[in-house]
Amino acid sequence: MAEPISIADLRRLARRRLPRMVFDYLEGGAEDEGGIVRNVEAFRKIRLMPHRLVDVSERSTAVELLGKKAAAPIVVGPTGLNGAFWPNGDIALARAAAKAGVPFALSTASNATIENVAAVGGRLWFQLYVVHRELAANLVRRASQAGCEALILTVDVPVNGKRERDLRNGFQMPLRYSPRTIFDILTHPRWASGILASGALKLANLATTTASSLDAQTALLRREMDASFCWDDLARLRDVWPRRLIVKGICAPHDAARCFEIGADAVVVSNHGGRQLDDAPAPISILESFQGLGPVLIDGGIRRGSDIVKALASGAHGVLVGRSILYGLAARGETGATKAISILVEEIDRTLALVGCPDASRLSSAFVGHD
């Protein structure tokens, strides 16, 4: 393929390079995958209203994200098992984000440790899954010591979503080898040589934590979270975490209001990219109902820079991007992740010019149109 110019191009390259079961893990969602489709289509339904005869000769995609300037309203979202897409995938993403001047959110289910990723530099956020209270407390301490500027607590995984592609493919950690998976791997030698040479994938944070009981590791591998985690626990987390606290996976405005009452600094309106509750609403479709509550980020279905412009014009402070950047990572490692971010940033810049808003931080509902 010629040089990729869109996220869709990177997706095609990723699909070619990855074994089917790994691509399915990246791409797939819960049950009938209606949530994934709605996330993407909800953006397609929104129109932008161009303002004419505005001087757009100088433009800026920069915004303030959690009190600090970011080069674009983008956060590289937390995704588990990035090492399955590219050797040292977490480090590759952290470097791409730092180079682009945007934050990187490291998942609890990462293959690199918090400390190794922190050594890359750049803005680091740590995403917390509470699989085990003692383990969570340990991870929070480590994230704080490593200098993570924000903690993102993910609250939409009380139990694992029913991801039928993964169930059919036997995609789990450690990988289960069947004749089909072996054939899948052998027919993708470029992926296999890189990944197999870098050793067995480990959930590095858990493997290196002193609270790591076998129970806790098994729970995370199966994505069996502590389903009893509730509001009082959030309040306790607020007490012990010294820096910015973000709650990810909120859909109901009354839940967002409660997060802000407890002292959260922001919420991420998210349905986990359609990977948890298949019937949860598309975040961009419900964003308006969060107006005035506090700082809101959204994610889910962002495949174009214009989607990010729509999110900001609809009231979001910024967006988290999952699959679009993972396509780049899976296609070409750090170079591909950098490419994905630069495609999105270039598209934001072009869209700002076309809608007559030279400054991303000045987007408002005045730029949302209707057919």
Ligand X SMILES: Cc1cc2nc3c(=O)[nH]c(=O)nc-3n(C[C@H](O)[C@H](O)[C@H](O)COP(=O)(O)O)c2cc1C
Kindly list the residues in this chain that would bind ligand X in the complex (CB under 6 A). Answer: 25-26, 39, 77-80, 107, 109, 127, 154, 248, 270, 272-273, 275, 299-302, 320-324
Residues near 75 by Cβ (< 8 Å), separated by ≥ 6? 65, 102, 103, 104, 105, 125, 297, 318, 319, 320, 321
Residues 240, 142: contact at Cβ < 8 Å? no
Q: Which is nearer to ligand X, 40 or 355 (CB)?
A: 40
The residues annotated as belonging to the active site are 272
Q: Which is nearer to ligand X, 184 or 299 (CB)?
A: 299
Amino acid present at 158? P
Locus of tokens 């990246």 = 26
Shortest Cβ distance from residue 127 to ligand X (Å)? 5
Shortest Cβ distance from residue 300 to ligand X (Å)? 4
Q: Which is nearer to ligand X, 107 or 169 (CB)?
A: 107
From 239, 240, 249, select the one nearest 270 (Cα to Cα): 249
Q: Which is nearer to ligand X, 82 or 351 (CB)?
A: 82
DSSP-assigned states of every residue in 142-210: HHHHTT-SEEEEE-S-SS----HHHHHHT--SSPPP-HHHHHHHHT-HHHHHHHHHT-S---HHHHT-T
Q: Which is nearer to ligand X, 273 or 295 (CB)?
A: 273
Comparing every residue's Cβ against ligand X, the nearest one is 322
Report the C-alpha gap between 76 and 98 in whole angstroms. Answer: 10
Shortest Cβ distance from residue 9 to ligand X (Å)? 17
Shortest Cβ distance from residue 321 to ligand X (Å)? 5
Shortest Cβ distance from residue 218 to ligand X (Å)? 17
Shortest Cβ distance from residue 167 to ligand X (Å)? 15
| Alpha helices (H) along the chain | 7-17, 20-27, 34-45, 89-100, 114-118, 133-145, 164-169, 179-186, 189-197, 204-207, 214-221, 231-240, 253-262, 283-286, 305-313, 323-355
Q: Which is nearer to ligand X, 128 or 363 (CB)?
A: 128
Residues 337, 344: contact at Cβ < 8 Å? no
Residues 251, 259: contact at Cβ < 8 Å? no
